[in-house]
Amino acid sequence: MPNFLLGLDAGNTVIKAVIFDRDGNEIAAASKEAHSHTPFPCYVERELDELWTNARQVIRACIEQARIQPGEIAAIGCAGHGNGLYALDREGNPLLGIQSLDTRAAGLVEEWTSEGVGERTFPIAGQRPWPSQTPTLLAWVKRHRKELFDRIGTVFFSKDFVVNRLTGRRVSEVSDMSGAGLLNLAARRYDKGLMEAYGLGDCMGLLPTLIESADIAGTVTEEVARETGLAAGTPVVGGLFDVVASALGSGVSRTGSVSIIAGTWSINQVIIDTPQLTGPVFMSSTFDRDRYMAIESSATSAVNLEWLVREFFSDIPAGRRSPFDLCGELAAAIEPASDDPLYHPFLYGAQQNGNARAGFYGVAGWHTKGHLVRSVLEGVAFGHRQHVEKMREAGAVFTEAVLSGGGSRSMLWPQIFADVLGLPMSIARSRETGALGAAIAAGTGAAIFTDFAHGAASMVRMERNYLPDLLMRDHYARRYDLYRDIAEALAPIWRRLSSTLQPAAGADA
Ligand SMILES: Nc1ncnc2c1ncn2[C@@H]1O[C@H](COP(=O)(O)OP(=O)(O)O)[C@@H](O)[C@H]1O
Ligand SMILES: O=C(CO)[C@H](O)[C@@H](O)COP(=O)(O)O
């Protein structure tokens, strides 16, 4: 039986391909960064052709590096960022790639909130509308870009697009569809009443064939085999919403542990046996065939450091340490003090407030660049804490956390997370937890593993542990209160700021 599994992870910024053996050892890895476009404020879009070009390149690079026969790959699994709006036209050609950082539909969400749309969707889907949620964006396109809407043939997700190009099949699977509020959670199927609640009763036909994550979606076509070096006929599974893949690939496959992902998005999630917790959280998704994830999230995590690095630290000479390491060193050199600056990580809005903007507060003449970098790391962790507290209030029970995502690579951040959250924090050996989770789904689909828990036990190894420092925990608890109070006080200002934005021509009613 073939010994290797290929996992892909198509995130908001980077696409990665990793070949693993059955014990979870990384045999080869390749990644490529993609471009986003902001033609108008609040729009974040990408070219689907570029995504597919990058996917082919990383797959080929990975196979060449691995020095294995392509026939030795038992199956392929793909994870990808959730939500946004990825669409093919009626002929199956790439049409639309709106990412999950887009907030153009903030006004529509406010309108829907006052009409009580969320009260109708939540009991069915475990989710209320929010700006870059797939049905919200689809409704926005339907209202403001009718011509474009009429051309849409299929609505699915970033990883479904990659699966579509690999296999020719138009399918999606339950974790991404539920994560976007498009499934009747308990029944794990599409629901006409739910679509009607979004004003999308006429869009049922745009939703592709729905399968479970580990079901086989199709097999690699001859043409793709020639282009990538894969073997034609290699099975490709449905794949996973990347946040679910990352939980799985970082070893969270049971209840009692919280998965924290510091990627572009701040993801905070627990596995549960029922479709929803007793109280409300931001979203629910499926986990394996019979369990669920309760997820609190927003686009407020490592994307803030990414921005800081891009704008202020990108001219570091090649060969020197990475700008992320430099930031870690600058921040680690700061002795924490009660008057340190505070940072709100709302570059792309906040979960409850699409109008929110990022900012530094309390900067004084004696503060240095290091203080500002440290405040970004702390502010991101405070954002995670707000989500974690909401999950607890909703009934989630956990005593430890597993950190993954790009932020877990930092020398300093994991300790800040442990102190701010007051939880012991562990980190998996593999840095590519999304790709590993997708590979576990592939291994389950290829019957190498009986289920996700079996796959995680076989492929995931833990590496580092961080315990909360009690003095720092108390220090951060005081600063977290300030962080929240300032954000609350600023809400009306953000509202005013957003009302001054000029809408894109023809984009708003
Ligand atoms: N060494 C590092 N230290 C701190 N942050 C890092 C490091 N490397 C990458 N990151 C952060 O991780 C983010 C990417 O996270 P990742 O989980 O790989 O991507 P995505 O969320 O797009 O799937 C970047 O935005 C960057 O800020
Ligand atoms: O829907 C989402 C979260 O609810 C996001 O799109 C998430 O998948 C982003 O992932 P990231 O870009 O951080 O890897």
pLDDT for the residue numbered 317: 73
Give the model confidence (pLDDT) of 344-354 as tens digits: 999 999 988 88
Mean pLDDT on 57-79: 97
User: If you take atom 10 of ligand 1, which residue's CA is the nearest one?
Assistant: 406
Dihedral pair phi/psi, residue 18, rounded to 5°? -135, 135
pLDDT digits (tens, 9 = 90+) for 448-498: 999 999 999 999 999 989 999 999 999 999 999 999 999 999 999 998 988
pLDDT at res. 502: 57
Specify the ligand 2 atom closest to the Cα of 295: 4
> What is the ipTM, given to two decimal places?
0.96
Q: Render pLDDT for 264-280 as a digit per residue (tens, 0 to 9).
A: 899 999 999 999 999 99
Mean pLDDT computed over 323-345: 97
Q: Is 306 in the pocket of ligand 2 (CB under 6 A)?
A: no
**Burial of residue 481 (number of CB atoms within 10 Å: 0-12, 13-18, 19+):** exposed
* Ligand 1 pocket residues where CB is under 6 Å: 11-14, 263-264, 302-303, 305-306, 324, 405-407, 409-410, 413
Among the residue ranges 142-146, 289-293, 311-315, 395-399, the one predicted with the least confidence is: 311-315
Look over the chain and give the mean of its residue pLDDT values, rounded to a whole number: 95
Question: How far away, in angstroms, is 157 Cα from ligand 1 center?
Answer: 21
The predicted-structure confidence for 251-260, as pLDDT tens digits, reads as follows 998 888 899 9
48-59 pLDDT, tens digit per residue, is 999 999 999 999
Q: Is the CB of 130 under 6 A from ligand 2?
A: no
Minimum CA distance residue for ligand 1 atom 18: 406
Which ligand has the shortest distance to the CA of 300?
Answer: 2
Q: Whose CA is nearest to atom 10 of ligand 2?
A: 81
For the CA of 13, the nearest atom of ligand 2:
12
CA nearest ligand 1 atom 12, residue: 406
Q: What is the side-by-side order of every strand in the sheet holding 257-262? A: 283-287, 291-298, 266-272, 257-262, 400-404, 425-428, 462-466
Give the count of beta carbons closer than 10 Å to the beta carbon of residue 302: 27
Q: Which ligand sits closest to the CA of 158?
A: 2
Atom of ligand 1 nearest to the CA of 306: 27
- Closest ligand 1 atom to residue 12 Cα is 22
* 84-121 residues labelled b (16+ CB within 10 A) or e (exposed): bbbbbeeeeebbbbbbbbbbbbbbbbeebeeeebbebb
pLDDT(508) > 70: no
Burial, 314: exposed, middle or buried (Cβ in 10 Å; 0-12, 13-18, 19+)? exposed
The pLDDT of 76-104, averaged and rounded, is 97
Q: What mean pLDDT is predicted for residues 156-174?
A: 98
**pLDDT at residue 318, as a whole number:** 67
- pLDDT reported for residue 501: 72
Query: Is 132 or 507 the better-scoring residue by pLDDT?
Result: 132
What is the model's pLDDT at position 173?
A: 98
CA 208 to chain centre: 21
In the prediction, which pLDDT does 495 show? 87
Q: What mean pLDDT is predicted for residues 59-73?
A: 96
Q: Are strands 425-428 and 462-466 parallel, antiparallel or unpaired?
A: antiparallel
3-state secondary structure of 94: strand
Nearest CA, atom 14, ligand 2: 11
Task: Please indicate whether residue 185 or residue 321 has the higher confidence score (pLDDT).
Answer: 185
Q: Find out whether 78 and 169 touch, Cβ atoms under 8 Å.
A: no
Q: Is the CB of 94 under 6 A from ligand 2?
A: no
Atom of ligand 2 nearest to the CA of 264: 13
Instruction: Say yes or no: CB of residue 264 within 6 Å of ligand 2.
Output: yes
Angle among Cα 108, 114, 115 to the nearest 5 degrees reads 85
Angle subtended by helix axes 369-393 and 323-332, to nearest 10: 90
Count Cα atoms within 13 angstroms, Cβ side, for 333. 13
Query: Ligand 2, from 8, 130, 264: best to mutate by most atoms within 8 Å of Cβ?
Result: 264
pLDDT of residue 354: 81
195 CA → ligand 2 middle, Å: 22
266 CB near ligand 2 (under 6 Å): no
How much distance in Å is there from the Cα of 179 to the middle of ligand 2? 10
pLDDT at residue number 503: 56
Which two structure tokens, joined as six digits, stand for 317?
Answer: 């000479």
Residue with CA closest to ligand 1 atom 23: 11
Nearest atom of ligand 1 to the alpha carbon of 406: 12
Closest residue by Cα to atom 1, ligand 2, is: 82
Contact by Cβ (8 Å): 200, 104: no
Q: How far is the CA of 418 from the centre of ligand 1 (A)?
A: 18
Closest by CA position to 361, among listed 384, 378, 385: 378
At residue 505, does pLDDT exceed 60?
Answer: no
Residue 127 in contact with residue 121, Cβ under 8 Å?
A: yes
Distance 433 CA to ligand 2 centre (A): 14
Average pLDDT over residues 288-307: 96
* 413 C-alpha to ligand 1 centroid (Å): 11
Q: Closest ligand 1 atom, CA of 303?
A: 25
Q: What residue type is 242 in one-letter code?
A: D
Q: What is the pLDDT of residues 400-425, one digit of tens each?
A: 999 999 999 999 999 999 999 999 99
Task: Write phi, then psi, for 488 (nearest 5 degrees).
Answer: -65, -45
Which of 309, 410, 427 is the pocket-test mutation for ligand 1 (most atoms within 8 Å of CB)? 410
